[in-house]
Amino acid sequence: MAGINGLGGAFIPQPQVEDNEAPVPFKQVVPPRDLQAVAQQSVQNSAMAEAMESMSLVMGGRLRNQDRKTESRDRMSELRDKLIAWVPGVAGPALNELMSQFSQLGSGPHNPLAAMEQAGLDAGAMALILAGLLRDAVMDPKRRKRLENALMALLENADLPLDIFTWLELGSLDKQSLAPVRMLYERSRQQEDTPESLLAWYQEVCDWPDREKRLKILIQSLALELGCTGERLQMTRIAHTIGELKRLLIFFNLADHSHWVAGASTMESETVLREVLSLLSQLWIYPDWLSDRLQSHQLTTVQQIGWVRVMLEFIRTLPDMCFRDDEHRQQVIDALEQLQDRLAEAE
């Protein structure tokens, strides 16, 4: 997976877990945020107060719009600089070939974006080519300006991080193939929280082709959004984006650990993942419910004992976000322990 070193703070998925290997603790790195305060000037002259108030209705909106434009421009400039510094770390054969093909891009007066579009390149590839070319420290100033303007035009699209990481992970994709990922990306960037269970979320992504790669694309794209400090993001938006990143990473860890749990039974790892998510989504967990679930998969008593033992270790490693509260976690553990005792007596 292409990393995002140098692009700001990011959540990093843990390595794959092999069969019968103990779970890896969850890790997260949260980028800091300095939120700027806006000073307000009071009007002392009472004779002018009424006129100033009416003027503010007109000017206030204009100033706010100008302020937002400045913030957006600062953020794009920061992202541009980070992409230029970062591109050598992800340059592979495909990107190097494109860099060679477009080595003279911007040398003439023609629009660099038009030239790349005619070659059938998507936005992600175009951004990487431009960033790579702009690393030339002795480039002609006029050519540099053309390439910088082209890159800044691409950066006006808020979905560009998704396009960049999609190209790095999966190459060129048509819009229809990426539509489900783009829809989830847009929803994850919204400030409004959607109290969606992990099971419901899994049901939305379970049939994605190249699911792991597409989820990695989401992780990197959301992390890049937090890595750019030019925009004064609201705390609610920051918290929501961090929450979505946590959700993605939890899913990755659950998927990895499902291979480990599957090793204790004859279940497929995907079946184990569904069972884990179903277990975590239950309001109340009882030993009988767990027993019925295991028997539906036709596991022997020995296989059930192994499954419960490994699942207990698994549940104890999960972060708090997987549970409604501490009582919920303890209830799941108690139910598994009671079933474990019952199976031991029946063996």
Q: Could you give the angle at the alpha carbon of 35 between the alpha carbons of 32 and 40, nearest 5°?
A: 170
Residue with tokens 């340059």: 91
Distance of alpha carbon 150 from alpha carbon 125, whole angstroms: 13
- Percent of the chain with pLDDT strictly greater than 90: 27
Residue 133: predicted pLDDT = 95
Residue 9: predicted pLDDT = 36
Residue 197: predicted pLDDT = 62
pTM: 0.64
Q: Where are the domains of the chain?
A: 67-157, 159-259, 263-346
Residue 118: predicted pLDDT = 94
Distance of alpha carbon 66 from alpha carbon 139, whole angstroms: 32
Residue pLDDT, tens place only, 169-202:
888 877 778 888 888 888 776 655 554 566 677 7
Tokens at 215, concatenated: 């989820």
Average pLDDT, the chain: 75
Residue 96: predicted pLDDT = 92
**Sites in the chain below the pLDDT cut of 50:** 1-68, 195, 229-232
* Number of CB atoms found within 10 A of residue 34's CB: 6
Q: Residue 139 has what DSSP assignment? A: -
Spatial contact of 274 and 225, defined as CB atoms under 8 Å apart? no
Long-range interactions of 236-239: CB distance < 8 A, separation 24+: 236/191, 237/189, 237/191, 238/33
The torsion defined by the Cα of 302, 307, 309 and 315, in degrees rounded to 10, comes to -170
Please give the C-alpha separations between residue 92 and each of 26, 121, 141, 179, in angstroms, as whole numbers: 30, 17, 28, 26
Query: How far from chain centre, in Å, is Cα 199?
Result: 18
DSSP H helices in 159-286: 160-170, 175-189, 198-205, 211-227, 235-262, 269-281
